[in-house]
A and B are shown apart, each in its own frame.
Chain A
């Protein structure tokens, strides 16, 4: 411990240790950004045999997936990912935003205190458990209730018509995924709404606006970028979610046409086939291409969203 009567040599030793630890620890900070780069490089290297031979466009728009014949068309998987993710967002975003607004603008402290652990728990439940819930509860419900109802009520729209007799479908995947990403979107957007200065709300209320008018005309315009960033973060979570979706979405290689068709998203493709991938030529490169696509999309979304959120936070302080 420091002491006034420490001889100079002790002080010098402590200062030397300080300098050494400082320099040593600096190397730790290099690791996280480096890991991102290394990850992308390794995946790119393993995907190169296929990326180097085919044009990116040909791979992305190819509909035929026959690894044994060396045909790798990613369109079924890309479209499957897109369908499930977008459908999940359509289901998740409105209730998530309303809940976040309610928590930030209306709820009393006890309600907030109750909601925090609920959201934490929802975020902590493993994705496999969501998958089990999907298989037990959502898939049969989609099969016996939702799909027949939609066929009767909206059957004239191709979006709701399907030959798929099971409940394992985009719809089931989207419902499960929506419940999974909702707590995430709520948590991020809640923070964004809380960052609006209280004075702005009070100014609006003081001139006679109702609370909802204040939200619509003051809070929402001010937080639009942050809310979008929150949604994008939720979107990138949904894109990469593997097990829960894989368990309920059907995994049929096809370009889906309806919400009740089965789909085969990219993460499911990787998870289902890693076993065979070393025994068929180029198969491993194809699966690593799938992983690389996921990584690149998520990377772009996350960097953009994180920068927007950080800027909002900095401005409010």
Chain B
């Protein structure tokens, strides 16, 4: 057999080598990004960054922190996620319960997929125009509403995918006992699928907290802590962006630290949802 060392075997080895190389490039680039952000962000990260809002001269390199942006981001993404959840859960349960494979169901899902693909800057521009028309200024409320729109398709489609894995027997058992379809959806399906639903919520929250282009117009930016729905609110991505744009190295250092804070938040959310789904998975019917 050794004699028949054909081109096709060489091709196989070559292809496999290229694939392993690509695989390594993708995995290494993640390590590179995380490594760079850590290496540059850690040295300028201190307690004041996390616990103070910007004081006078902060953007010239003087004292202060970015508590305004941390809180602002949590409020913005939290509010947006809450609103999106109130809409997404019933919608995805409805899609799964009543219009599973009908053409209307397909059409709605297409709409959701398209919405998911629309760039966040377009959401921002759209939101800004609507806010202008109704006389709402850049504010926490505006940011929350636009983030809710942005997160809604992500959350609904993620839940929809999860709900499709619902064991049919369980649903039928509930219906056979005389429960109506909606009672089944609410009391059986949503409980059985709780881990997946939580994952979907956290996925959308992660997208919301990291998005800059949509809140740029609609939530504005401020050095104050967010106290009112009708005042502007700061956010972490914009804190990174604005500080990096200043000419002072001390302030740019803080942009790296802010990027690190944002990355850690997102990593916690992403890994946390994995862990949580695993934990909760123990309590569902297998």
Which A residues have a C-beta under 8 Å from some C-beta of B? 2, 14-15, 17-18, 21-22, 25-26, 28-29, 31-33, 35-36, 39, 42-43, 46, 94-96, 98-99, 101-103, 106, 115, 117-122, 124-133, 135-137, 179, 182-183, 186, 210-213, 215, 233, 236-237, 239-243, 247, 267, 270-271, 274, 287-288, 291, 294-295, 298-299, 301-303, 306-307, 310
Smallest distance from the beta carbon of B205 to chain A beta carbons, Å?
A: 10
Partner of B37, one of A18, A127, A132, A270: A132
Among B177-221, those with CB < 8 Å from A are: 177-183, 203, 206-207, 209-213, 216-217
**Cα–Cα, bound, A287→B124 (Å):** 12
List chain B residues, Cβ under 8 A from A240: 118-122
**A98 cross-chain contacts in B, Cβ below 8 A:** 18-19, 21-23
State in angstroms the CA–CA spacing of A233 and B117 once bound together. 8
Contact, CB under 8 Å: B241 / A95: no
In the assembly, what is the distance between CA of A243 and CA of B203, in Å?
A: 20
Residues on B with C-beta less than 8 A from A99 are 19, 22-23, 26
Judging by beta carbons under 8 Å apart, are B213 and A28 in contact? no
At the interface with chain A, which of B59-67, B108-116, B224-232? B108-116
* 24 A/B residue pairs, CB under 8 Å, sorted by A: A2-B177, A22-B182, A33-B110, A39-B118, A102-B19, A102-B22, A117-B270, A124-B203, A124-B267, A126-B211, A128-B259, A129-B259, A132-B259, A182-B26, A212-B15, A236-B117, A242-B212, A242-B213, A271-B121, A287-B125, A294-B121, A298-B122, A302-B113, A307-B110
Q: Is B119 in contact with A267, judged by CB distance below 8 angstroms?
A: yes
With an 8 A cutoff between CB atoms, is B100 at the interface? no
Residues of A within 8 Å of B209, CB to CB, are 126
Instruction: List chain B positions with a Cβ less than 8 A from chain A.
Output: 8-9, 11-12, 15-16, 18-23, 25-27, 29-30, 32-33, 36-37, 40, 87, 90-91, 93-95, 98-99, 104, 106-108, 110-115, 117-122, 124-126, 128-130, 149, 152-153, 156, 177-183, 203, 206-207, 209-213, 216-217, 237, 240-241, 244, 255-256, 259, 262-263, 266-267, 269-271, 274
Q: What residue of chain A has the Cβ atom nearest to residue B26's Cβ?
A: A99
Asked if B8 and A29 sit within 8 Å, CB to CB, the answer is no
Q: Contacts A18-B180, A98-B22, A267-B119 hold; do A28 and B29 have CB atoms under 8 A apart?
A: no
Query: Whose C-beta in chain A lies nearest to the C-beta of B210?
Result: A126
User: A133 contacts B122, CB within 8 Å?
Assistant: no
A130→B111 contact, CB < 8 A = no
Judge whether A298 and B119 touch: CB under 8 Å. Answer: yes
Q: Which residues of A contact B95 (CB under 8 A)?
A: 29
Check B181 against A18 for contact (C-beta < 8 Å): yes
Interchain CB contact (< 8 A) of A132 among B11, B112, B240: B240
CA distance in complex: A186, B111 (Å)? 23
Q: How far is the CB of B280 from chain A (nearest CB, A)?
A: 18
Which listed residue (B27, B94, B112, B255) contacts A25, Cβ 8 A?
B94
On whether the beta carbons of B256 and A132 are closer than 8 Å, the reply is: yes
In the bound complex, CA of A157 to CA of B236 (Å): 42
B26 with A42: CB separation less than 8 A: no
Quick check: B91 and A28 within 8 Å, CB to CB?
Answer: yes
Known: A32-B111, A32-B153, A36-B111. A179 touches B33 (CB 8 A): yes
- For the complex formed, measure the closest distance between the CB of A227 and the CB atoms of chain B, giving whole angstroms: 15
Is there contact, CB below 8 Å, between A247 and B244?
A: yes
Please name all residues of chain A whose beta carbon is closer than 8 Å to the beta carbon of B270 when the two chains form the complex: 117, 120-121, 124
Which residue in B29, B130, B237, B274 is a CB contact (below 8 Å) of A128?
B237
| Beta-carbon contact of B107 and A43 below 8 Å | no
| Residue pair B120, A29 in contact (C-beta under 8 Å) | no
CB contacts (< 8 Å) of A287 on chain B: these are 125
Chain A residues lying within 8 Å of B255, measured Cβ to Cβ, are: 132
Residues from chain B with a CB closer than 8 A to the CB of A137 are 32, 36
Instruction: Give me 6 other A-B pairs in contact (C-beta within 8 A), A132-B244, A298-B122 excluded.
Output: A15-B180, A28-B91, A35-B115, A43-B122, A242-B213, A291-B125
A243 to B121, CA, bound (A): 9
Q: Tell me if A291 and B121 are in contact (CB < 8 A).
A: yes
**Chain B contacts for A43, CB-based, 8 A:** 122, 125-126, 129
Residues of A within 8 A of B26 (CB): 95-96, 99, 118-119, 122, 182-183, 186
